[in-house]
Amino acid sequence: MKQLEFHKERLRTFGLRPTKQRLDICRILFDRKNTFHFTIEKLKKIIEKNNKKKISLATLYNTIHVLKKKGYLKEISLKGNKTFFDTNTKKHHHFYDEGMSQLIDIDDKNISLNYLPKIPNGKKIKSIEVLVKIEKTN
């Protein structure tokens, strides 16, 4: 479990105390091989099931927002009421199955797009996101 020390150190690095709650959140988010796409509500359920103890919504919102601001999480552009977050902070894209509310990463190098349109004056590109919506065949 040297992951834990890593999370502690990372939290301390930007002036945050490594509390039990923050470490619980970091473990769920980052101790995994693949990208994790989640909503706050989903994260809450997972954490509470894991350690059989409630965690406050406010703590979840606070911590997720800090991690996002520090660049360890991305928010995903989707329509709908609840916000989705993404542990993959690299430039990438998504398949999205609206029916199942499921997101799948598409590596940036698997997408090539050649756009001609002139960027509005005085503006520059900040990011490009491709969303491929999918649905059941037939």
- Residues forming the site for DNA (CB under 7 A): 12, 15-22, 39-41, 54-59, 61-63, 65, 81-83
- Of 17, 49, 53, 79, the residue at the interface with Mn ion (CB under 5 A) is 79
Q: Which of residues 93-122 bind Zn ion (CB under 5 A)?
A: 105
The one segment of 58-66, 77-85, 99-107, 123-131 that binds Mn ion by CB under 5 A: 77-85
Calpha distance 77→131 (Å, rounded): 9
**Least distance from C-beta 35 to Zn ion, angstroms?**
5
Q: What are phi and psi of 33, to 5 degrees?
A: -75, -40
CA distances from 98 to 36, 41, 61 (A): 17, 17, 24
Between CA 134 and CA 66 the distance in angstroms is 32
Q: Rounded to the nearest 5°, which phi and psi values hold at 103? A: -110, 140
Whole-angstrom Cα distance, residue 63 to residue 134?
Answer: 32
Q: Does 2 bind a second copy (CB under 8 A)?
A: no
The identity of residue 109, as a single letter, is K
127 binds, among Mn ion, DNA, a second copy, none (CB under 5 to 8 A by kind): a second copy
Choose the contact partner of 65 out of Zn ion, Mn ion, DNA, none; CB within 5 to 8 A by kind: DNA
CB closer to DNA out of 21 and 88: 21
| 51 makes contact with a second copy (CB under 8 A) | no
